[in-house]
Structure 1
Amino acid sequence: MAAVSYLSLSVVACLCIVSVSSLSDHESFLRCISSHVSPTTNLSQLLYLPNSPDYSSLLFSSIQNLRFASSETSKPLLIVAPADEFQVQASVICCRSHGLPIRARSGGHDYEGLSYRSEKASSFVLLDLEKLRSVTVDVEHGVAWVEAGATLGELYYKVSEKSRRLGFPAGVCPTVAVGGHLSGGGFGYLSRKYGLAADNILDAKMVDADGRILDKESMGENLFWAIRGGGGASFGIIISWKVKLVPVPATVSVFTVRRTREQGAIELVYRWQNTAHKLPEDLLLRVDIVHVNRGDRRVVEAAFRSLFLGHCDGLLQHMGEHFPALGVERNDCIEMSWIDSAVYAAGYTNGEPAEILVNRELQPKDFNKGKSDYVTEPILVSGWEAIWARLSEEGAAGSMHLDPWGGRMSEISESDIPFPHRKGNLFIILYLSTWRDEGVAASTKHLGWIRSMFHFMTPYVSKRPRNAYLNYRDLDLGRNEEGNASYREAMAWGERYFKNNFRRLAMVKGEVDPHNFFSNEQSVPPLLAEAGERPHKTCSTSM
């Protein structure tokens, strides 16, 4: 205890200097933390004050969007970097008892930065989960326990170390952490075969608003339902997930085929939207519509990217039967292991080793803004002509990324988990604008373009509501003001992410966090049930 007492004195002194008004009873707060963690805990490695030499480096280490790395962005009063679940528990208990809002960051890829910043005037504490990154693989039972701070790349690599015949259906960006990715849904190259990452969660450990460490059994059916696709940050702090691993063949096949307008890209994308969702579930074919330099010209290009769970002969046969117009040839196709296909899908196509997946500095940081849409009816050729013209304009400052649905994604009920975008969706669109130049002019240009493009796409996408994907978070859809939005006010954005599941999510929130301790600009607000009413699964014929 002497070590804790000595460190407590130094940290208390820092808290006094930093902000007496924000943390008025600083000694009480530190005593609270000390009483809930191991006596051997080095508080200087757990608590980081703004005047600590490591505060800034820790804060900026996982800020992936440079829009929120400026001096104007709100900074946490304190960063807590827990190394185990009991330190997470202590953080929640002490922050709540001292009236301190809390934000939890696992990988920092939230498009709006809500895991590490606040638009509110009040101070907040940042819980940085990077130290919670263990991955434990059980090949015999085909499962893994993965902590919230582990990245997708680390999960994929650790699984491949144990077995080359197991994989996991999640996203393509290896530096995204599993804590937020899985709690928002999580789709990728295996989703047409096995569903979302969230569809393959078997158990979880979390800390709730009362500071309890819960698993599936102790949290109950409703809360376990809510955190698998409903955004875990609204309900507590995710510590770890138990996930079902999925079988993959020893050999998979990939290709990337690029086409410009002169090479028939518009007609091909038109045909793709009528084909991709009907392909065999072992085959995924996505499209990136991007700007590229061809000589001295800047042109719009459609890059068709595929993963097939099998050899090239099978892939070429399917493409010949279902989409011969694309003209895929044998020399376009590459055979590799599934773990190497994860490297390829991340954009590393020159034979880079699988070890690259565990490099947390792999993704360059930039300024960015994302928005999303779902398409439920095929867009006419004239529509694609107009879209192409829009993307080809002089001031165009972004790209479109199209991922097909169908397969397993269309077989799971809309209410099975909170993620509702299932049968009836042809594909999802990510609009993405990225830039490197600092300053207001660049930001205004790119934000203006993507918002204008989103408005332009209105006739072509889902309606009533115009649906969106939580993991492509977009505050343009609406936000909670000062954390006090009512359920009715939050419906403006909540029903876009969750459709009819939003009401059940709000009722679960009302049960487990009625005082809205876990809140942010787009957290689910508590809807307090009337007497006798409880959250329950809604019936759905979407199977």
Structure 2
Amino acid sequence: MTGVDRRTLIARGAAAVGGAAVAVGLPGAAFADPAPAAGAAAAPAAAAPRGGVTIRPDDPRYPLLTTGNNQRFVARPDYVRMIRSAADAEQALSEAVQAGKRVSVRSGGHCFADFTCNPEIEVILDLSEMTGVDYDPRFRAFTVDPGCRLLNVYEALYKGWGVTIPGGICYSVGAGGHIAGGGYGLLSRAHGLVADHLYAVQVVVVDERGKVRTVVATREANDPNRDLWWAHTGGGGGNFGIVTKYWFRSPDATGTDPGQQLIAPPSEVLVSAVDIPWDQLTQASFARLLQNFGAWHEKNSAPDSPYRHLSSLFNVSSKAHGSLGMFTQVDATVPGAGQLLDDYLTAITAGTGVTPQALTRPTGELPAMPQLAAPQRLPWLQATRLVGTNNPVITNPTSRGGHKSAYMRRNFTDQQVATLYRHLSDPGFTNPDTMLVLFSFGGQVNAVAQDATANAQRGSVFKMCFQTFWADESQDDFYLGWLRDLYEDFFVSTGGVPRPGADTQGCYINYPDRDMDDPRYNRSGVPWSTLYYQDNYPRLQQVKRRWDPSDHFRHSLSVKLP
């Protein structure tokens, strides 16, 4: 991915500040995009008409822009509008509202469900061309446009100012949806969720009379629009309006130095990538391996744990793949980092009899990393590029996929690991691109109160994503059925879903799954809204009533009007 040099970013920042110094005013005031800096080259009129480029069914770009990364979901809208500014978004949304057209919003196109692309959508508002990253001294905060891909955000923030956000590893995920759903990654155990560092959000909204306007909402206690900021700290995308800009400043930031306003990543990280062949595993050793992972995270995920600086991603792939892969990263600058990593790797394999090997081929989110069979120290950004840019399974734009999630507060039960072994080792199941992904969680994520942000899951120790990928539409029923059977069997004691309680804490809205709203698959008696938002859902409904009273922004799992 292409980086952005510091000189370019500073120039952009100066232009933005110069053009918009009067536009923001008090927190929560209407916000106009900054005017171009003096001397800036004007964009060709044909390339950027007012309101953005319109792409209709006869345009060769139309098929590309009416689906996302998951080819299961396709729309047939009247047109796609490419948005480049808040002013574009205002005009495009006004036109759609006046025409009575159903709209959806897209940034990166990685949504796991049909939120953006489905047959009911008449207009797609595509923000993927909004890719700026700057520093705004008025708010002492960094701005990130919704169309930015995550790796570009990391590159720009780190090269420009030595800071970052604790976001995900997949390089091509769009910032727009990632942030609104909470956002997490390998630095979250040490620094919390992405949303925990969100200072403000710029949103284009529609009132009850159909009037469109642009609003800025901050986390300041006296901001009359603060509820709109809160809703975007885990309330999910496509619910309240069109996000056209985010501002980031960590809650404990002080002074005016930009480099002190957001977290600094480790200068170096110690990284390990290992492969555990299926032919070394029996049912007993498989169970021990997974329960070692669960037990370690149960023990070492308190907010003040010395292991909060360590995070791991464990791909428990199907036997058809041939092996399980695990990537682990620890802040190399903390005392005893090498020992922390050694102790972790030892704990995960204890009593299993397995001998980890080099990770010589891709698995799920992980690329082949044979050079990391023995742990290595790498600059943080280099390690981020390594693990994030070459993950062909999860980022394959031609595949179809199914995904289900869960937050775990306790270790696996014997029944759960037996279920995983039975399904994943089934000799009749031959898809290698199938896995249960286990993500380290907890740490500083759990230092935040459940109602402080819209993201309510603040008591879990690891997170799971059940997923499989395939190529042909004719195979949809088979693979979705297989995935449903696995998930329902895994959570059989709680009605087929991770019902919030002592052992599990519901689902992650950035891994949305329509089955959670289907009584055929969710037999828990707990509504989908509680699985994703728990006790925060009624407050989200009040935000919805205030900012989208006519329900213009809706999808299959959108926040409903109260």
TM-score of the alignment, normalized to the shorter chain, above 0.5: yes
Query: Any conservation in 1 of the 2:52–2:92 contact (CA below 8 Å)?
Result: no
Q: Which amino acid aligns with 2:311?
A: L
Structure 1 residue aligned with 2:14: none
| Alignment partners' CA distance in 1, 2:345 and 2:243 | 42
Structure 2 residue aligned with 1:521: 556
1:521 positional shift: 1.5
The change in CA–CA distance for 1:497 and 1:112 in structure 2 (over 3 A counts) is same
Structure 1 residue aligned with 2:105: 104
Q: Which amino acid aligns with 1:106?
A: S
Instruction: Answer with 195-204 or 91-100: which moved more.
Output: 91-100
1:458 positional shift: 0.7
Q: Which amino acid aligns with 1:185?
A: G
Task: Tell me which of 384, 388, 393 is aligned to 1:342.
Answer: 384
- Confirm or deny that 1:453 pairs with 2:486: yes
| Alignment partners' CA distance in 2, 1:313 and 1:95 | 57
| Alignment partners' CA distance in 2, 1:170 and 1:452 | 31
Query: Any conservation in 2 of the 1:80–1:127 contact (CA below 8 Å)?
Result: yes
Structure 2 residue aligned with 1:416: 452
TM-score using structure 1 length: 0.76
Query: Any conservation in 2 of the 1:170–1:196 contact (CA below 8 Å)?
Result: yes
CA-to-aligned-CA distance 1:34-89 (integer Å, 9 cap, x gap): xxxx99663696222222343334435xx111112xxxx43111211122110101
- Confirm or deny that 1:390 pairs with 2:423: yes
- Confirm or deny that 1:287 pairs with 2:314: yes
1:315 positional shift: 3.3
Q: After superposition, where does 1:254-273 map in structure 2 within 5 Å? A: 254-260=271-277, 262=280, 264-273=285-294
Q: After superposition, where does 1:72-83 map in structure 2 within 5 Å? A: 73-83=74-84
CA-to-aligned-CA distance 1:215-250 (integer Å, 9 cap, x gap): 125761111111221013110000011123311222
Q: After superposition, where does 1:268-417 map in structure 2 within 5 Å? A: 268-277=289-298, 278=300, 280-291=307-318, 298=320, 301-310=323-332, 314-321=336-343, 324-326=346-348, 332-346=374-388, 348=390, 363-381=396-414, 383-396=416-429, 397=431, 398-417=434-453
| Alignment partners' CA distance in 2, 1:207 and 1:191 | 29
The change in CA–CA distance for 1:449 and 1:215 in structure 2 (over 3 A counts) is same
Structure 1 residue aligned with 2:95: 94
Q: How many residues align?
A: 453
Q: Which amino acid aligns with 1:52?
A: D
Query: Any conservation in 2 of the 1:79–1:126 contact (CA below 8 Å)?
Result: yes
1:307 positional shift: 0.9
Query: Any conservation in 1 of the 2:163–2:264 contact (CA below 8 Å)?
Result: yes
What runs of 5+ residues in structure 1 fail to find an aligned partner?
Answer: 1-37, 293-297, 350-358, 481-489, 528-543
SS at 1:246 equivalent:
coil
| Alignment partners' CA distance in 1, 2:97 and 2:196 | 32
1:380 positional shift: 3.4
TM-score using structure 2 length: 0.74
The structure richer in helix per residue is 1
Query: Any conservation in 2 of the 1:172–1:345 contact (CA below 8 Å)?
Result: yes
CA-to-aligned-CA distance 1:63-122 (integer Å, 9 cap, x gap): 111112xxxx4311121112211010111222212211110110111111312x2343xx
| Alignment partners' CA distance in 1, 2:215 and 2:50 | 25
- Confirm or deny that 1:181 pairs with 2:178: yes
Instruction: Answer with 449-458 or 139-148: which moved more.
Output: 139-148
- Confirm or deny that 1:118 pairs with 2:145: no
- Confirm or deny that 1:205 pairs with 2:227: no
| Alignment partners' CA distance in 2, 1:258 and 1:266 | 17
1:341 positional shift: 1.6
1:511 positional shift: 1.6
CA-to-aligned-CA distance 1:495-536 (integer Å, 9 cap, x gap): 110001011101111122221111112111111xxxxxxxxx
Structure 1 residue aligned with 2:265: 248
Query: Any conservation in 2 of the 1:373–1:469 contact (CA below 8 Å)?
Result: yes
Structure 1 residue aligned with 2:148: 150
1:320 positional shift: 4.1
SS at 2:147 equivalent:
coil
1:363 positional shift: 4.6
What runs of 5+ residues in structure 2 fail to find an aligned partner?
Answer: 1-42, 250-261, 302-306, 350-355, 358-371, 520-524
Query: Any conservation in 1 of the 2:544–2:560 contact (CA below 8 Å)?
Result: yes
| Alignment partners' CA distance in 2, 1:160 and 1:140 | 20
CA-to-aligned-CA distance 1:307-365 (integer Å, 9 cap, x gap): 1111699333114445524468996201111111212222649xxxxxxxxx9x97543
Q: Which amino acid aligns with 2:54?
A: L
SS at 1:445 equivalent:
helix
